[in-house]
């Protein structure tokens, strides 16, 4: 059941995705207390802030993994937090891409099958999905690793496979939670360079959670989350 | 590290004798390098000449320390402007950053806001260096990296300090 109210209508906005006054609790623990952030199309936003401040929770709310207790999530002006789970699930599959700190590849699958996964889940035929997946190995400098199982990859290689998986379905928004958190500086930098280059080429909007200033420096703009609220440091610059 | 501006900041709390200024300066900012009395009085004389502070009536007794100095509106203005301005992001700024944070707390200002402004200035500089790295030669990359790592060290210090502001405020107030 979905009742369309005035507030639920599409509103004209320059934002690709935004959180408006979002509250979220884990049981008794408040994780977000009125968090608002707005990310323009094609923008790369770094989300920083102390441990436990609510960065991951904010990312999960934006991506429709968690549903806010109150407040709104809008994608191109359309409210998505009121979508039923089935529709949020298709958004996560078709419109959003994800990269996490520890790749989280499926160990039983080969690297190319891991990359193809979002396409397979989206109903693309196996051969087509694998062919599209393979294109990314060259693009991210990991050709030759297509048939390896994920347990046979180094952390940096696995993270590039995870990045390919996050980008293969050409998502509108890529959510990356500490994508370089488990890598050394040089490898982390390589992954960021690849992420930023790919995102810019494809016009992908990126929400990047990171502790590391040197990683955040790859973004166009940064916000800091403190106690479940977002404070913006850089004034909005015209795109 | 600017001695005149720091003394102005200390005077903004309340009119003080040279001796009090030296004691507070040494406690908070002069750990490695205490201020000589001569320098305190020379600085106060210069600030006084420039209309930033005024000496009060000489109090009875001996020695040079018989006057209490007070900050003037002009001095206040100069100090405020300095405090609000983020430091140009270059490596090794801890001393200046530290002085600004402590002075802001002593005066009951928002040190958090100051740290946020500084954080933004540092990250902006880091973004510029990162952009440079993406376009330039390996030599420039190495030079940019050196700057980036040092700016990052500053930023980590800024974050730690922001996290410790409540305890620092208590330490400074006592
Ligand atoms: N599954 C959970 N169950 C209960 N509480 C949770 C859960 N996940 C997060 N929290 C709490 O919610 C708050 C915000 O957590 P969140 O994971 O969003 O922080 P974060 O900023 O991502 O931290 P970090 O930098 O350590 O990853 C914290 O107080 C945390 O303890
Ligand atoms: Mg987290």
DSSP A159-200: HHHHHHHHHTT--SEEEEESTTTTS-HHHHHHHHHHHHHHHH
3-state DSSP call for residue A96? strand
Structure-token pair, residue B14: 């309340």
3-state DSSP call for residue A139? helix
Provide the number of structural domains found in chain A: 1
Report the helix count and the strand count for chain B, using DSSP H and E: 8, 3
Task: Return d(Cα A214, Cα A230) in angstroms, integer.
Answer: 20
Query: What strands, in cross-sheet order, belong to the sheet with A78-79?
Result: A29-40, A15-26, A70-75, A78-79
Question: Which alpha helices (H) appear in B33-93, and where do they start and end?
Answer: 37-49, 73-84
Q: Is B164 on the interface with A (CB under 8 A)?
A: no
Comparing CA positions, the residue from B169, B155, B82 lying closest to residue A233 is B155
In a domain, residue B56? The reply is yes
Provide the number of structural domains found in chain B: 2
Query: Is the same domain home to B37 and B7?
Result: yes
3-state DSSP call for residue A71? strand
In a domain, residue B128? The reply is yes
Q: What is the mean pLDDT of chain A?
A: 89
> Of the candidates B44, B60, B84, which is a domain's last residue?
B84
Query: Is the same domain home to B62 and B102?
Result: no
- CATH number of domain containing B59: 1.10.10.10
Model confidence at A9, pLDDT cuts 50, 70, 90, reads low
Please tell me which residue of chain B has the smallest CA distance to A186: B145
Q: What is the mean pLDDT of chain B?
A: 86
For residues A191 and A163, the answer to whether their CB atoms sit within 8 Å is: yes
Query: Is the same domain home to B105 and B162?
Result: yes
Query: Is the same domain home to B76 and B100?
Result: no
Q: For residue A205, what pLDDT is reported?
A: 97
Q: For residue A239, what pLDDT is reported?
A: 35
Considering only CA atoms, which residue is closest to atom 11 of ligand 1?
A31
Average pLDDT over residues A133-153: 91
Query: How far, in whole angstroms, is CA B80 from its chain's centroid?
Result: 11
Comparing CA positions, the residue from A86, A87, A24, A9 lying closest to residue A59 is A24
Task: Return d(Cα A140, Cα A204) in angstroms, integer.
Answer: 16
Query: Is the same domain home to B125 and B78?
Result: no
- CATH number of domain containing A118: 3.40.50.300
Query: Is the same domain home to B48 and B103?
Result: no
In a domain, residue A239? The reply is no
Q: Centre a 10 Å sphere on the Cβ of residue B78 and count the other Cβ atoms it contains.
A: 18
Task: Return d(Cα B116, Cα B167) in angstroms, integer.
Answer: 18
| Inter-chain CB proximity A217 and B148 less than 8 Å | yes
Q: For residue B56, what pLDDT is reported?
A: 84
Structure-token pair, residue B118: 């500084």
Query: Is the same domain home to B8 and B63?
Result: yes
Structure-token pair, residue A15: 């934002």
| Inter-chain CB proximity B152 and A216 less than 8 Å | no
Q: How far is CA B47 from CA A121, B9, B91, in A?
A: 73, 12, 30
Domain that holds residue A171: 4-232
Q: Which of A57-61, A107-111, B61-65 has the highest mean pLDDT?
A: A57-61
Average pLDDT over residues B140-154: 88
Comparing CA positions, the residue from A205, A203, A235 lying closest to residue A221 is A235
Q: Is B2 on the interface with A (CB under 8 A)?
A: no
Structure-token pair, residue A128: 């087509």
In a domain, residue B89? The reply is no
Q: Is B27 on the interface with A (CB under 8 A)?
A: no
Query: Is the same domain home to B79 and B7?
Result: yes
Domain that holds residue B68: 3-84
Q: Is B150 on the interface with A (CB under 8 A)?
A: no
Phi, psi dihedrals of residue A19, rounded to the nearest 5° = -110, 135
- pTM for the model stands at 0.82
Pairing of strands A173-177, A96-99: parallel
User: How many whole angstroms from A177 Cα to the centroid of ligand 2?
Assistant: 7
Phi, psi dihedrals of residue A238, rounded to the nearest 5° = -60, 145
In this predicted model, what pLDDT tens digit does every residue of B68-95 receive, in sequence order?
Answer: 999 999 999 999 999 888 888 776 666 7
Comparing CA positions, the residue from A217, A195, A203 lying closest to residue B144 is A217
| A224 Cβ neighbours under 8 A, 6+ residues apart | A48, A49, A230, A231, A232, A233, B116, B119
Q: Ligand 1 pocket: which residues have CB below 6 Å?
A: A 26, 29, 31, 49, 51-57
> Of the candidates B84, B119, B143, which is a domain's last residue?
B84
Q: For residue B94, what pLDDT is reported?
A: 67
In a domain, residue A238? The reply is no
For residues A136 and A168, the answer to whether their CB atoms sit within 8 Å is: yes
């Amino acid at each position: 059941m979905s009742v369309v109210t005035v507030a639920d209508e599409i509103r004209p906005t320059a934002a690709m995705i935004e959180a408006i006054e979002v509250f979220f609790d884990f049981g008794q623990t408040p994780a977000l207390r009125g968090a608002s952030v707005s990310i323009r199309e094609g923008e790369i936003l770094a989300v920083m802030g102390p441990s436990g401040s609510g960065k991951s929770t904010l990312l999960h709310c934006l991506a429709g993994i968690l549903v806010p207790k109150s407040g709104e999530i809008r994608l191109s002006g359309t409210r998505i937090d009121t979508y039923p789970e089935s529709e949020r699930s298709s958004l996560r599959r078709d419109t959003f891409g994800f990269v996490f700190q520890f790749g989280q590849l499926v160990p039983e699958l080969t690297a190319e099958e891991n990359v193809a996964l979002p396409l397979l889940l989206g109903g693309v035929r196996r051969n087509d999905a694998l062919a599209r997946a393979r294109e990314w190995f060259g693009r991210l400098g990991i050709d030759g690793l297509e048939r390896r199982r994920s347990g046979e990859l180094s952390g940096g290689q696995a993270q590039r496979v995870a990045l390919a998986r996050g980008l293969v379905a050409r998502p509108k928004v890529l959510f990356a939670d500490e994508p370089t958190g488990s890598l050394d500086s040089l490898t982390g930098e390589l992954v960021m360079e690849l992420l930023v280059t790919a995102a810019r080429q494809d016009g992908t909007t990126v929400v990047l959670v990171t502790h590391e200033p040197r990683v955040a420096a790859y973004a166009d703009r940064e916000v800091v989350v403190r106690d479940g609220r977002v404070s913006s440091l850089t004034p909005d610059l015209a795109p | 590290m600017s001695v005149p501006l720091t003394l102005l900041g200390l005077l903004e709390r309340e009119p003080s004798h040279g001796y009090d200024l030296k004691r507070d300066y040494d406690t908070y900012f002069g750990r490695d390098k205490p201020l000589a009395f001569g320098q305190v009085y020379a600085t106060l004389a210069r600030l006084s000449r420039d209309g930033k502070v005024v000496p009060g009536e000489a109090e009875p007794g001996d020695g040079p320390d018989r006057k209490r100095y007070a900050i003037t509106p002009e001095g206040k203005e100069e100090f405020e402007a300095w405090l609000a301005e983020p430091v140009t992001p270059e490596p090794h700024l801890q001393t200046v950053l530290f002085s600004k944070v402590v002075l802001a707390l002593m005066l009951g200002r928002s040190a958090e806001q100051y740290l946020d402004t500084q954080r933004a200035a540092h990250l902006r500089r880091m973004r510029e260096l990162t952009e440079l790295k993406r376009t330039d030669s390996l030599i420039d990359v190495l030079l940019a990296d050196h700057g980036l790592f040092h700016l990052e060290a500053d930023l980590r210090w800024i974050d730690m300090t922001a996290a410790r502001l409540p305890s620092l405020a208590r330490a400074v107030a006592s």
